[in-house]
Structure 1
Amino acid sequence: MRTGISTACLYPLELERSFQTLLSLDFRLFEVFLNTFSEFTPDYLRQLRNVADAYGAEIKSVHPFTSGYEGFLLFSEYERRFEDSLEFYKQYFDAANCLGASIVVLHGQRDYANAGISEETYFERYATLYALGQCYGVTVAQENVNKFRSESPGFLRRMRAYLGDTCAFVIDLKQAVRAGQDPFAVCEAMGERIVHVHINDNAPGYDCLLPGRGTVDFQRFREMLLGFHYQGDLMIEVYRKNFSALSELQEARDVVQQLV
């Protein structure tokens, strides 16, 4: 395991400025949050990759800005829109290839209480997207997200049982807490299919804090991951409002580094 950070920590600072700022803090492993269409044009991506290469940095994962619309694009009753969206998501896979990233993060279906598709259809749609990503050498990984279908450990467990080796997961501790779920139950549900971790902390009354600022039992979390033979990294992901000084990100890195 290695320690990394998401550019989302500095949102809404523009991506290239966020990336440069985090590089200046000596981070070298990244999740890149693409925030708009112009940020996955070939010229922009090449410039970002050139900066990464100049610093000896690695971009591990890509987070689509369309994550909030995936229910509409990929998991609605309208089959043709799903097929068209598969073509659209190829742009994310191309972007991942350009940046050297191996993971694309998926949120999935929001407001699922009135979903027009069954769980089985959701799983099959995901499997199609997963297979398409594999053609590009990219793993599409389902994240647990508050207010999305994936907030439920039961759903994640059924997804893993249905798809077996043809699925992958991102666990985000803060998203579990926001959904009123036990992060360890979410981890257990994902099991050996976890390929990526968004690490953060929490405490009573605070669902998202920098690692080391809350009460999460990180040693227990680490042992659980190792029990699932986890081979991925620990990516710090919080919101800009969760810290005051940039030096706090470096302090959080020191905390996470003790787990790797």
Structure 2
Amino acid sequence: MAGRLGYDGVEIMVWTDPVSQDVEALRRLADQHGVPVLAVHAPCLLITQRVWSTDPWTKLQRARSAAERLGAATVVVHPPFRWQRGYARAFVDGVWRMAGETDVRFAVENMYPWRYRDREMQAYAPDWDPTNDDYRHFTIDLSHTATSRTDTLAMLDRMGDRLGHVHIADGNGSAKDEHLVPGRGTQPCAEVLGHLATSGFDGHVVVEVNTRRAMSSAEREADLAEALAFTRLHLGATAHRS
């Protein structure tokens, strides 16, 4: 579908789907469809705690290996969960060390507090906002900035030239991580893309939208086509797109 719609490449979310965990299967699919893998998202969600390994450092090592073998430029990684205490204590230094061992970028993604009604839980450590720590590269996700109710442009400014990767999506500030088609929520998607187009950004912009509510494959394709058209319109031809 990505190739048919005109996407330049894809980011692989390593998931419970066995194909997402199989580098050779991914390579064959990329060759078959003529769509390169541009980034690998390490399996660091709650649902993927046992994917590849239960050890978080092994997950990052395997994600790096997958990226190198697939020719991907970036490994996207979340901050640790707070209950991963040893991993969290060593995370900043460990990511720097791993980044120094490869040309692949380790881009730490902004997350959000978990909220339920009037309660809020800090689920990530050292912080859900990676700009409060020292990383070589960042990923900014605009659905996550909506969920955390962050000033997106201020976060973008804090990331500066260490911004290595972008997840373009939208949201309305719900406690749910919505991943709407850009332009359908409250996030400054157009402004962010315009900034990337004029700032010398050399990473990838990845459309990361939720199409589970689509009632048909045609509706799903229409959402993905709309997201791509919006991104290209506001980004222009000066940065890579996927």
When normalised by structure 1's length, the TM-score is 0.69
In 1, the alpha carbon distance for the partners of 2:214 and 2:154 equals 27
In 2, the alpha carbon distance for the partners of 1:210 and 1:40 equals 23
User: Quick one: structure 1 residues 231 and 190, their matched pair in 2 at CA, closer, same or farther if it must change by over 3 Å?
Assistant: same
Query: Which portions of structure 1, spanning 4 or more consecutive aligned residues, are displaced by more than 6 angstroms?
Result: 117-120
Structure showing greater relative contact order (alpha-carbon pairs closer than 8 Å, 6 or more residues apart): 1
2:111 matched to which residue of 1?
145
In 2, the alpha carbon distance for the partners of 1:90 and 1:116 equals 19
Deviations 1:180-209 (CA, angstroms, capped at 9, x unpaired): 211112211211101110001234658531
2:60 matched to which residue of 1?
89
Alignment of 1:53-68 (within 5 A): 53-68=31-46
Alignment of 1:79-228 (within 5 A): 85-111=56-82, 116=85, 121-132=90-101, 134=102, 137-147=103-113, 148-149=124-125, 150-152=127-129, 155-160=130-135, 167-203=136-172, 207-226=178-197, 228=199
In 1, the alpha carbon distance for the partners of 2:16 and 2:151 equals 33
CA-atom RMSD, angstroms? 3.3
In 2, the alpha carbon distance for the partners of 1:37 and 1:182 equals 34
Kindly indicate whether the alpha-carbon contact (under 8 Å) linking 2:169 and 2:180 is maintained by their aligned counterparts in 1: yes
AA matched with 1:30: V
In 2, the alpha carbon distance for the partners of 1:57 and 1:235 equals 13
Percent identity between matched residues is 23
Aligned length: 216
**Structure 1: any 5+ residue segments left out of the alignment?**
1-20, 72-80, 161-166
1:29 matched to which residue of 2?
9
2:224 matched to which residue of 1?
249
Q: Secondary structure of 2:203's partner? A: coil
In 1, the alpha carbon distance for the partners of 2:25 and 2:75 equals 20
Greater helix fraction, Structure 1 or Structure 2 = 1
Quote the offset at 1:253 in angstroms.
Answer: 0.9
Quote the offset at 1:235 in angstroms.
Answer: 0.8
Quote the offset at 1:240 in angstroms.
Answer: 3.0
User: Quick one: structure 1 residues 70 and 213, their matched pair in 2 at CA, closer, same or farther if it must change by over 3 Å?
Assistant: closer
In 2, the alpha carbon distance for the partners of 1:224 and 1:187 equals 9
When normalised by structure 2's length, the TM-score is 0.74
Kindly indicate whether the alpha-carbon contact (under 8 Å) linking 2:19 and 2:26 is maintained by their aligned counterparts in 1: no
In 2, the alpha carbon distance for the partners of 1:209 and 1:48 equals 26
In 2, the alpha carbon distance for the partners of 1:182 and 1:144 equals 12
AA matched with 2:92: F
Quote the offset at 1:172 in angstroms.
Answer: 0.2
Deviation larger for 55-64 or 86-95? 86-95
Quote the offset at 1:52 in angstroms.
Answer: 1.5
AA matched with 1:64: A
**Structure 2: any 5+ residue segments left out of the alignment?**
114-123, 236-242
Quote the offset at 1:119 in angstroms.
Answer: 8.4
Kindly indicate whether the alpha-carbon contact (under 8 Å) linking 2:140 and 2:166 is maintained by their aligned counterparts in 1: yes
Q: Secondary structure of 2:226's partner? A: helix
2:121 matched to which residue of 1?
none
Kindly indicate whether the alpha-carbon contact (under 8 Å) linking 1:68 and 1:107 is maintained by their aligned counterparts in 2: no
AA matched with 1:96: A
In 2, the alpha carbon distance for the partners of 1:156 and 1:204 equals 20
In 2, the alpha carbon distance for the partners of 1:131 and 1:231 equals 19
